[in-house]
Amino acid sequence: MNKDIKIIMETTFNTVVNEYVSKKQNYNYYESEAQLEDTFIKDLINQGYQYLALNTDQDLILNLRKQLEKLNNIEFTEKEWKDFYNNVIANKAEGLIEKTRKIQEDYKQYIKRESDGSPKNIYLIDKTNVHNNTVQVINQFEENEGNYKGRYDVTILVNGLPMVHIELKRRGVNIREAFNQIQRYARDNFWAGSGLFEYVQLFVISNGTNTKYYSNTTRKEQVEKTLNHKQLQSKAFEFTSNWTDEKNNLITDLKDFTSTFFNKRTLLNILTRYCVFTVDENLLVMRPYQITATEKIINKITISSHYKKEGTKDAGGYIWHTTGSGKTLTSFKTAKLATELDFVDKVLFVVDRKDLDYQTIKEYDKFEKGSANGNKSTEELKKNLEDPLKKIVITTIQKLSNFVKKYKKHDIYNKHLVLIFDECHRSQFGDMNKAITKSFKKYHLFGFTGTPIFAENTNDNVGFQTTEATFGEKLHAYTIVNAINDGNVLPWRVEYLTTFHEKDEIVNKKVKAIDKQSALNNVKRIREIVKYIIDRFDTKTLLTPPASIKNPNPNLTKKKYNSILAVSSIEAAKAYYLEFKKTISEENLNLKVATIFSFNPNEDMNEIDEDFDVSNLDSSSKDFLASAINDYNEVFKTNFSVNGDSFQNYYKDLSEKTKQTQIDILIVVNMFLTGFDAPNLNTLWVDKELKYHNLIQAFSRTNRILNNVKKFGNIICFRNIEQKAKEAIALFGDENANSIVLIKTYEEYYNGYIDKKGEKNPGYKKLIEQLLEQFPLNEQIIGELQKNNFVGLYGKILQYSRWLKPFDEFENNQILTPRQIQDYQSLYLDFYEEKRGKSSDVENINDDLVFEIELVRQVDINVDYILQLIKANWRKNSNLDPDIISKLDSSPDLRNKKDLILEFVKHYDGQDDIEGEFSIFIKESRFNDLKTIIDNNNLNEKATLKFIELCFDFGYLKTIGEEIDKILPPISRFDTNNIRPKIKEKVTNLLQDFFEKYYF
């Protein structure tokens, strides 16, 4: 075959369709949930799914046996099946995690044949030939065991095991209702009966119009690390995913979603190839753009190898996926699949700094322990390259460059290699590319970047061509506009606080400074900026009382978000650090500030490619850095220095503490402005020139998804870089990107605006006027309709308040007084609880009513704050101050603790140690209340005490498992009246009330 023939079509099956044309039609008739389900099942049947009319555990188990026999070409004896089912499939000691591991990793089990004792492999799923798997669909499956009865909408069986569950709501209902329904099933039902529904790997939720999918753990680890038990459910929804085509067009309508996502081959590919079960026992399911990028690279490797194109640009290419979109997971899966190609000898993943080397290995180890090998030296790199068992090698560009220079004739140059360069917009890759093309013979070169180098920004990278000229064609793009539309990263809210810029004079808001090089490091200017940051820190990072940096008691401060201050030079970093240190000491601030920098010969080029080298720092800078590290050591009881590995360990520790919000402000020159992923970081203070890819990279430190309270990244600029920001956003998005990437102005949110649909949004001021006119506090809100109208209106006000709060102008323009806010918030919570009380299913309050309880919690009052108010307003033998009672009533987390706090006031003697007295009171009261529950219900005292302590450790009341059964009173084995479930329900309700009362 002629090698020069151009490939015009690839025959490999693509999991994500190239470009999808919608099949949905405009119907005039009302569609019920039952009709939606019926149409969905018919569409699945038309796509080759086998429909089964089964809805009981017994039927499910019989079908499972039949399908596993078919897959494994075996006929179980009764004993073989009983042993295999009880010990492997439905082992009572195993739960969701163990069953997920069975599907993702241990899908090959075995039995001993009854006839001769010989072993026989039994596959639960065939991951090599996906067409060997049988796919079936069932609906309305009934689970009569568990905490409550359950009836599931639609479930996909793969080889008889439930692996995908779909929950449907009628059109017009908020899709969160479907999500909440699955959360309830997971809590109350999936584990019950046979427990087979714990094999579900993926969930799909849909209201017909909008459809999303997610894994069975839904970013569990990330959510649990940052949020308390009351918030887990609503926060997890933020990590559900959209399905798209290769061009990132959303596929949301259920009919379209069914045609694509539920294509049998697509679904089986996702289950068998594009899920990653991490070391932390989280199941990550890849998003469509990640799958597309992975397949583009694997296809390019396969096809270019077939046509003997190795070692040319035709054998490679680059992936443009915006910062924060999960490039590490994509690269990991790509590397893993590449090593499975029998003609590929090794995959090299190349980063440009030691800190990214460390981060990448750590991330890869999360996906699969020991999957990649790092290198502490060029010699170690040599050993890993020579070891045939080490398939994935992570190295820095510096070590690879040193290896090429040192070993000019090495066998690795003739091996079939895949080289993946991370953040390939760096200037260093230009020189490395020349070295690779001279030394390596049989390779595929791929680059990953969130900010490619185009003709417009090549001047920022001296000696470096465009990304395409270096790596080859663009294989796939997923821009910041795509990511924001998908909800995978957040937009930015940018403020510019500059005074003078050569030709244009700009009105200064707060900071009086002349933006010229001669004045940038002026101590007066820096002092003004430090004062501004300190005055605004609580607002920008959404801290609420008593969590303030001006609170001298560190035990009362609970940090929400933190920040980075990016400065122009090492001299500026020194000046800022000293000014913060001085101010913190003088004002006794509860603020932790740290700094880090290293030598960068290109500092004046506005690059953020800083190396990990401090040996070339001048003596003054090195001594200053050593002093700053000593300050850090004193605060955190560590022992780091600027020498060798100790500085690298300082970086690692600083990185972790910043991610955990133990550092409030991290002052950097270039480090941490790229490749640093910290969802709790929400603010970037900028006092340096940034443009193009460097600006996008730096801004992107703030826009990681965390929860539904963090809605944007804060960028506060002390330089006039507004035009550069617009140019950068346009370059890496499109001409309309600025309106999507940057959130609206204070003026628009406060006074109203016209949205992109042409609809008028009234703004905060108008909504408050409407609230005061329609629902004055001195008049009672009567009737269901009026209550619903109030909740809808106040919910909008809460949303606008969330957007406006970080703006400086909003501080004195809230219109409502703090007391009015508390009173309206109390009404809001009263109606919420009223709805809960009327509903048989406490989560499903009202299809058309959304309570923004998490927005209320954003400005919530905590117990530490209340204790300080009690102490400040204490009057012997008197009741609580009415303002304190109002605050309790307006708090969703403390209103059920109001009676407890009122009782404490009767015992409080006004002494200084109010926290200690409250702790003793709570301990005694908690024990007495629990003892009463135990005695009145004849519970096992020892088991109950142990159970409750376990629940307080977990942060929620465990209503499933053996622990709660052990505390119940003994009941006759001949429980003909079915008393035990009623007793369990009664005890569970009592303990739930007890837990909510005493869990702080």
Domain boundary among 858, 890, 925: 858
Statement to judge: residues 782 and 851 lie in one domain: yes
Statement to judge: residues 262 and 297 lie in one domain: no
Terminal CA-to-CA distance of the chain, rounded, Å?
73
Structure tokens at 774: 């329609």
Q: Give the separation between CA 847 and CA 422, rounded to whole angstroms.
A: 46
| Contact predicate 417/389, CB 8 Å | no
Q: Which residues contact 168 (CB under 8 A, 6 or more apart)?
A: 33, 36, 37, 40, 153, 154, 178, 205, 206, 207, 208, 254
Q: Give the separation between CA 426 and CA 428, rounded to whole angstroms.
A: 5
Nearest-CA neighbor of 709 among 856, 594, 596, 590? Answer: 856
Token look-up 């024990």 returns: 927
Q: Is residue 750 part of a domain?
A: no
Residue 225: predicted pLDDT: 40
Confidence of residue 450 (pLDDT cuts 50, 70, 90): confident
Q: Which residues contact 359 (CB under 8 A, 6 or more apart)?
A: 655, 675, 676, 677
* b (16+ CB within 10 A) / e for 380-406: ebbebbeeeeebbbbbbbbbbbbbbee
Determine whether 484 is exposed, middle or buried from the number of CB atoms within 10 Å of its CB (0-12, 13-18, 19+).
buried
Instruction: Outline where 368-427 has alpha helix (H).
Output: 378-386, 397-406
Q: Is residue 447 part of a domain?
A: yes
Q: Hey, CA dihedral for 422, 423, 425, 429, is it positive or negative?
A: negative
pLDDT at residue 220 tops 90: no
**Residue 112, domain CATH:** 3.90.1570.50
Q: Which residues contact 510 (CB under 8 A, 6 or more apart)?
A: 497, 528, 532, 808
Residue 368: predicted pLDDT: 57
pLDDT in tens, 916-962: 778 788 888 888 888 899 989 888 888 888 888 877 765 667 665 56
Q: Give the separation between CA 207 and CA 847, rounded to whole angstroms.
A: 11
Q: Is residue 544 part of a domain?
A: yes
Q: Give the separation between CA 885 and CA 914, rounded to whole angstroms.
A: 18
Residue 968: predicted pLDDT: 84
Q: Is residue 93 part of a domain?
A: yes
Q: Give the separation between CA 734 and CA 850, rounded to whole angstroms.
A: 34
What phi and psi values does residue 969 have, to the nearest 5 degrees?
-65, 150
Q: Which residues contact 246 (CB under 8 A, 6 or more apart)?
A: 14, 16, 17, 18, 19, 288, 292, 476
Percent of the chain with pLDDT over 90: 37
Statement to judge: residues 137 and 40 lie in one domain: yes
Q: Is residue 866 part of a domain?
A: no
Structure tokens at 90: 């439905």
Statement to judge: residues 393 and 298 lie in one domain: yes
Whole domain around residue 128: which residue ranges?
A: 33-285
Please tell me which residue, 562 or 835, carries the higher pLDDT value.
562
Q: Give the separation between CA 91 and CA 85, rounded to whole angstroms.
A: 8
**Which run of H or E residues covers position 898?**
helix 898-907
pLDDT in tens, 17-50: 999 988 777 666 778 888 999 999 999 999 999 9
Confidence of residue 621 (pLDDT cuts 50, 70, 90): very high
CA 781 to chain centre: 39
Task: Count CB atoms within 10 A of the CB of residue 789.
Answer: 14
- The pLDDT of 669-676, averaged and rounded, is 88
pLDDT in tens, 195-211: 898 999 999 999 999 99
Statement to judge: residues 297 and 278 lie in one domain: no
Task: Count CB atoms within 10 A of the CB of residue 7.
Answer: 12
Q: Is residue 878 part of a domain?
A: no
Q: Give the separation between CA 577 and CA 594, rounded to whole angstroms.
A: 8
Structure tokens at 507: 């009105």
Q: Which residues contact 227 (CB under 8 A, 6 or more apart)?
A: 235, 707
Query: What pTM value is reported for the model?
Result: 0.78
Amino acid at 98: E
| Contact predicate 939/987, CB 8 Å | yes
pLDDT in tens, 544-560: 666 788 877 666 666 78
Top-ranked range on mean pLDDT: pick from 99-103, 389-393, 542-546, 900-904: 99-103
Residue 511: predicted pLDDT: 55
**Residue 399, domain CATH:** 3.40.50.300
Residue 902: predicted pLDDT: 77
pLDDT in tens, 820-838: 888 888 888 888 777 655 4
The total number of structural domains that make up the chain: 5
- The pLDDT of 565-592, averaged and rounded, is 94
What phi and psi values does residue 284 have, to the nearest 5 degrees?
-100, 125
Structure tokens at 699: 């801004």
| Contact predicate 121/29, CB 8 Å | no
Please tell me which residue, 940 or 154, carries the higher pLDDT value.
154
- The pLDDT of 235-264, averaged and rounded, is 91
Amino acid at 509: K
Confidence of residue 615 (pLDDT cuts 50, 70, 90): confident
Task: Count CB atoms within 10 A of the CB of residue 893.
Answer: 19
Domain boundary among 858, 875, 901: 858
Statement to judge: residues 339 and 459 lie in one domain: yes
Statement to judge: residues 440 and 544 lie in one domain: no
Task: Count CB atoms within 10 A of the CB of residue 330.
Answer: 25
Q: Give the separation between CA 676 and CA 702, rounded to whole angstroms.
A: 10
SS3 448: strand
Statement to judge: residues 819 and 917 lie in one domain: no
Statement to judge: residues 854 and 915 lie in one domain: no
Confidence of residue 10 (pLDDT cuts 50, 70, 90): very low
Q: Is residue 17 part of a domain?
A: no
pLDDT in tens, 275-317: 988 887 889 999 999 999 999 999 999 999 999 999 999 999 9
Q: Give the separation between CA 824 and CA 771, rounded to whole angstroms.
A: 10
Statement to judge: residues 275 and 403 lie in one domain: no
Q: Is residue 868 part of a domain?
A: no
Q: Which residues contact 730 (CB under 8 A, 6 or more apart)?
A: 737, 738
Residue 854: predicted pLDDT: 52
Q: Which of 212-221, 348-357, 628-637, 982-991 has the lowest mean pLDDT?
A: 348-357
Task: Count CB atoms within 10 A of the CB of residue 480.
Answer: 30
* Whole-number average pLDDT of the chain: 82
Residue 965: predicted pLDDT: 77
Amino acid at 251: I
Statement to judge: residues 536 and 456 lie in one domain: no
Statement to judge: residues 557 and 441 lie in one domain: no
Q: Give the separation between CA 889 and CA 790, rounded to whole angstroms.
A: 18
Q: Give the separation between CA 460 and CA 692, rounded to whole angstroms.
A: 9
Alpha-carbon distances of 160 from 111, 197, 258, 333, 627, rounded to whole Å: 18, 11, 20, 28, 64
pLDDT at residue 732 tops 80: yes
| Contact predicate 790/775, CB 8 Å | yes
Domain boundary among 676, 707, 739: 739
